[in-house]
Amino acid sequence: MTDWDGAFAGKLTPGKSPALLLVDPVRAYVEPAFPLFLESGSAAISHMAQLADEFRKRHLPVIWTGVRYSEGGGDGGHFFRKVPALEIFVGDTTAGSFPEQLIPHGEEPVFFKQYPSAFFGTALDDWLHDHGVDTLYIGGFSTSGCVRASALDALQHGFVPIAISDACADRDEELHGSNLRDLGAKYSEIVRASQVPQMLDSGELPGD
């Protein structure tokens, strides 16, 4: 059997200019009436709200994404056809709106996307470079989908990705946990929301 010790899980040191990226924290994932409802979504929303406050207190960027399709979903291509539930995001819908406990402030950018990654087909990369961001703390929905894709793309665009485990959620805990483990092995640091304030103040990973 292969011994994987040492093959994965190196450390990515946070940079000096972090931002918080909240990926699709919309009502579709936290209200039972919608087909994408996540049982653990509301708890993740609470952690995201706390994190947004911590970043704002330090005058650090808070960045948002949402999902929105044109009529017929043609701008979503094969992805829109593969996931029929995405129909709830056609137009400016209730499902795609932000819950009242987690609302963007007026100066905070919101990027609407049609695919899993927050980077694909959006101006996010340009915005981050224009504002000198080097590290992305990431929360949102869902862990195995848009959070994972966004963390991977953050790495590939030259940013240090830090996924916040309890500020994300998925359809079940096994899926949530396995994706966090894989992200932590190869693409991202994984921390808890309670660890983030000290990291922002110290610029170091927990335990360093």
pLDDT exceeds cutoff 90 at 6: no
pLDDT score at 2: 58
Query: Which SS3 state, helix, strand or coil, does residue 138 take?
Result: strand
Determine the Cα–Cα distance for residues 53 and 3; give it in Å rounded to an integer: 42
The structure's pTM equals 0.95
pLDDT in tens, 45-91: 999 999 999 999 999 999 999 999 999 999 999 999 999 999 999 99
Determine the Cα–Cα distance for residues 49 and 196; give it in Å rounded to an integer: 13
What's the average model confidence in pLDDT over 28-48?
97
- Superfamily of chain region 18-200: Isochorismatase-like (3.40.50.850)
| Domain boundaries defined on the chain | 18-200
Angle CA(47)–CA(52)–CA(57) in degrees, nearest 5?
130
Matching residue, tokens 């990431």: 138
The residues with which 167 forms a beta bridge, in sequence order, are: none
pLDDT exceeds cutoff 50 at 18: yes
pLDDT in tens, 84-111: 999 999 999 999 999 999 999 999 999 9
Determine the Cα–Cα distance for residues 57 and 80; give it in Å rounded to an integer: 38
Answer for the pair 41, 49: CB distance below 8 angstroms, yes or no.
no
Q: Which carries the bigger pLDDT value, residue 205 or residue 110?
A: 110
Percent of all residues in the chain with a pLDDT value above 70, rounded to a whole number: 97
Determine the Cα–Cα distance for residues 76 and 78; give it in Å rounded to an integer: 6
- Lowest mean per-residue pLDDT among 5-9, 39-43, 81-85, 107-111: 5-9
**Among candidate residues 121, 127, 126, the one with its CA nearest the CA of residue 109:** 127
Question: CB 88: neighbour CB atoms within 10 A?
Answer: 20
146 is catalytic: yes
pLDDT exceeds cutoff 80 at 5: no
What's the average model confidence in pLDDT over 112-137?
98
3-state secondary structure 35-89: CCCCCCHHHHHHHHHHHHHHHHHCCCCEEEEEECECCCCHHHHHHHHHCHHHHHH
What's the average model confidence in pLDDT over 186-194?
98
What's the average model confidence in pLDDT over 162-170?
98
Q: Which of 28, 102, 136, 146 is catalytic?
A: 146
